[in-house]
């Protein structure tokens, strides 16, 4: 079964994957030189410039491990938290009266889980961007620079909704990467991925932008960049770069039946990453606007009944009480066509546009109500990871 897979570290290498690469190389050699879109001399200078700012992130987690012992009071009820102690072999932590399971290990003896991913430096004093799934639930974090120097790292903040995290190490005068515009990307444009596949260390792969605006069922806030630049397990959190050496995406997921690259990689667009990183760096969390409606696509039948050629927009199916939507006078059946002049092509568009604004901001909504196009203003509240 083919699955969408985020890319933590692994140790498997696929011979079939190597064969596919060789076939692809032979096919590329038959193209005219001008069609290959590779700079004269390749990407040597670009790689030399960006590689020092790409880091390896190693994590350790201790599932199970030690649990707090509970001191008992005279009446047998749990008292104050006592010293840490190991859970007896075969016993589930927190459930001392459950029957022990034969053969189950002592939770204190469970092996440490180690994994590796990638990140890149965005500030000379040690600010690093990676994927949230690389560092969440880790007990220890180690960052290794391209020159082999290692640092302990701490999480400044992470946003699971976009799978972006910001780390900090105590360092100075580090090389940095700059964000470019993902909005300016075009399908077919050459890109370069740098990362730490399978724990091998910094590795460079090249390809093109295969598609833009991909929905891979990873939440409402990200439409991914698709690339055929090889991304494997361990590449997570690494940069996708344009030919100017600017970060245009953060490599996050692959679709693969084997766990290795088959040319279907996905990156979070840099325009989204830059906004999330700014929030995480300042306050450790992301703030998103909240409107207070439930929405659905505009069906072809509704579009035809309204005399509209396209079924663009987002139809309001419910307005929650005490929300900005209710205060603005939105009604069930309204079709939201635009937010501050930006067209809404689907419910996902509306969710992203509202979430991109800060709580307290006032937005102008263009809506279609009973065949008449009108505008209303709404002052957004703070989003609680709920729909628009």
Residues acting as catalytic residues: 133, 163, 236
Long-range contact list for 91-100, CB < 8 A, 24+ apart?
Answer: 93/64, 93/67, 94/67
Task: Give the span between the Cα atoms of 13 and 121, in whole angstroms.
Answer: 28
Report the DSSP beta bridge partners of residue 253.
6, 266
Q: Per residue, what are the HEC states of 30-50?
A: CCCHHHCCCCCCCCHHHHHHH
Cα separation, 214 vs 7, in Å, equals 18
Question: What phi and psi values does residue 19 have, to the nearest 5 degrees?
Answer: -60, -40
**Alpha carbons 245 and 45: distance in angstroms, whole number:** 10
Q: How far is residue 252's CA from residue 272's CA, in Å, rounded to a whole number?
A: 13
Query: What number of other Cβ atoms are within 10 A of residue 96's Cβ?
Result: 10
Question: In angstroms, rounded to a whole number, what is the distance separating the alpha carbons of residues 85 and 232?
Answer: 39
State the DSSP H helix or E strand holding residue 381, giving kind and residue range, or none if neither.
strand 381-382
385 and 366 Cβ atoms separated by less than 8 Å = no
């Amino acid at each position: 079964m083919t699955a969408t897979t985020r890319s933590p570290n692994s140790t498997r290498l696929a011979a079939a994957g190597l064969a596919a690469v060789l076939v692809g190389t032979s096919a590329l050699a038959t193209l005219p030189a001008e069609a290959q879109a590779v700079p004269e001399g390749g990407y040597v200078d670009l790689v030399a410039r960006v590689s020092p700012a790409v880091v390896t992130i190693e994590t350790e987690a201790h599932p199970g491990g030690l649990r707090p012992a509970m001191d008992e009071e005279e009446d047998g009820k749990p008292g104050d938290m006592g010293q840490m102690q190991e859970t007896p072999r075969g016993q589930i932590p927190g459930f001392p009266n459950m029957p022990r399971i034969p053969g189950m290990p002592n939770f204190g003896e469970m092996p440490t889980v180690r994994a590796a991913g990638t990140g890149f430096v965005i500030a000379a004093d040690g600010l690093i961007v990676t994927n949230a799934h690389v560092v969440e639930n880790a007990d220890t974090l180690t960052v290794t620079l391209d020159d082999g120097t290692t640092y302990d790292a701490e999480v400044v903040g992470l946003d699971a909704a976009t799978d972006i995290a910001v780390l900090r190490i105590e360092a100075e005068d580090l090389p940095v990467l700059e964000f470019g515009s993902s909005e300016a990307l075009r399908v077919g444009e050459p890109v370069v991925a740098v990362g730490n596949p399978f724990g091998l260390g910094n590795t460079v792969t090249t390809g093109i932008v295969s598609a833009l605006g991909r929905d891979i069922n990873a939440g409402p806030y990200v439409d991914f960049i698709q690339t055929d630049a090889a991304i494997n397990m361990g590449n997570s959190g690494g940069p996708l770069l344009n030919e100017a050496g600017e970060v245009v995406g953060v490599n996050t997921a692959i679709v693969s039946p084997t766990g290795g690259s088959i040319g279907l990689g996905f990156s979070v667009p840099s325009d989204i990453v830059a906004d999330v990183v700014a929030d995480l760096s300042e306050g450790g969390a992301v703030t998103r606007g909240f409107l207070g409606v439930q929405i659905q696509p505009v069906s072809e039948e509704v579009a035809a009944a309204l005399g509209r050629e396209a079924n663009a927009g987002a139809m309001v199916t419910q307005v929650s009480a005490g929300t900005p939507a209710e205060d603005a006078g939105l009604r069930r059946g309204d079709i939201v066509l635009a937010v501050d002049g930006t067209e809404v092509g689907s419910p996902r568009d509306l969710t992203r546009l509202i979430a991109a604004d800060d709580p307290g901001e006032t937005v102008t909504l263009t809506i279609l109500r009973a065949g008449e196009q009108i505008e209303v203003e709404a002052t957004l509240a703070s989003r609680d990871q709920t729909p628009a």
